[in-house]
Amino acid sequence: MLVSEYKSRIQSKFEGGTSLSLDWYTNAKEAGEALRGEIAPPSLKRVVPIYGGLNNETGVYYCPTDVDVPSTLYNSKDAREKWEYQPPMAYHRNEEDYKFTIEEINGVKFLLVRHALASGTLTVDKFDAVGSKTGVTLVVNTHNYLTGTGALEGTFTDALVEVSEVLSSVLDITDYKRGVALCPINFETAEDVASVELILKTDASNYYTMISTSDSVGNYFRDGWNMVRFDIAKAVETGTVTDTSIASYTLNITMNSGKTQTVIIDKISLEKTTHYNFEYFSQYLFRDKDDNSWKATADDDADIINLGEKEAGILVYEGCRLVGFGGKKKKGIANFDEELLRKYNAYWANNPSSELPPSYSSSPNIGKTLNI
């Protein structure tokens, strides 16, 4: 169902409905929030890859921002190997195997797993000290960071874009050519970011270039922390790179013309491959009309409401309830509350589910003193 259809279906249930004056995009979002509080539509289920994480030995992994109801975490090569979600309190109270939970640090969700998932990780730069970095002037931020003892922040523009470093020892990335590079980056205003580029160099004439426009699970950048992902397999090679001898890197973060903002950068690492998949129900009700990307709020009548026919029918009546006294209900139209309850009862009868939204905590077990 398109947003335009949602709008017209609600208008048809009111006298003079076409003259209703309201923000239809906000109405649809709020109606969706009410709907997700009662049911978990199968069309909102996502399966995304989970890469190695921010950990050394601990089982701490970056979690998608749009998780509403977690379902399961499983081995992508052996679906019989599964982890079951537990609320944080239960997770820390009972040391059971094959359980996971979700917690937050600085507004970023993390998956905690009882033991580390098998994956190879290679640290390029911890970004907790300025060291010999050149380019944009950086300072240490010990208040807003995700790993180690801090992060680095600097002011980036459409001209001041580069951070470069000669590594203390060369890296061998041979085993990571089919994997990804990950870097947590905090944007004040994500829409002002033109591009993020990572260059891994043997020397000035021989290097790999990777450009990213999405986080580690494929969502577009958002305000706040993003786990920026670079696909190493899609890197563009200039010259002839010696994979066993990566001696330096450059990270370019370019703003749109005339834009300036403070950016915080944390640890750059390479991950060998995707080993695990995370299945969950998303908070994002809408898909973009142009690129089909999932998003929290519609901004065009041609955007798609990601629901099946039955769920869309419920959403329309949730929207009617929100309109409230903004218009006079047409004669012959059933009471919105009664019709909505009837639709929910029918849906629950045909789609029983034990899925419940997660609860979150600020557990000391994932505090800033933890070396992730």
Q: Domain ranges in the chain?
A: 3-42+285-350, 46-119+277-282+358-366, 121-271
Judge whether residue 170 has pLDDT over 90: yes
Specify the pairing of strand 99-105 against strand 78-85: parallel
pLDDT band at 284 (very low <50, low <70, confident <90, very high): very high
The average confidence (pLDDT) of the chain is 86
Judge whether residue 119 has pLDDT over 90: no
Higher pLDDT, 89 or 120: 89
CA-to-CA distance for 294 and 288, rounded, in angstroms? 6
Phi and psi angles of residue 205, each rounded to the nearest 5 degrees, phi first = -105, -10
**CB atoms < 10 A from the CB of 108, how many?**
18
Cβ within 8 Å of residue 191, ≥6 positions away: none
Q: What is the pLDDT of residue 328?
A: 66
Place of tokens 């701490």: 60
Judge whether residue 57 has pLDDT over 60: no
CB-CB contact of 31 with 322 (8 Å): yes
The CATH fold assigned to 121-271 is Jelly Rolls (2.60.120)
Q: What is the pLDDT of residue 327?
A: 62
Of 38-42, 134-138, 330-334, least confident by mean pLDDT is: 330-334
Q: Which of 116, 84, 118 is nearest to 102 (CA)?
A: 84
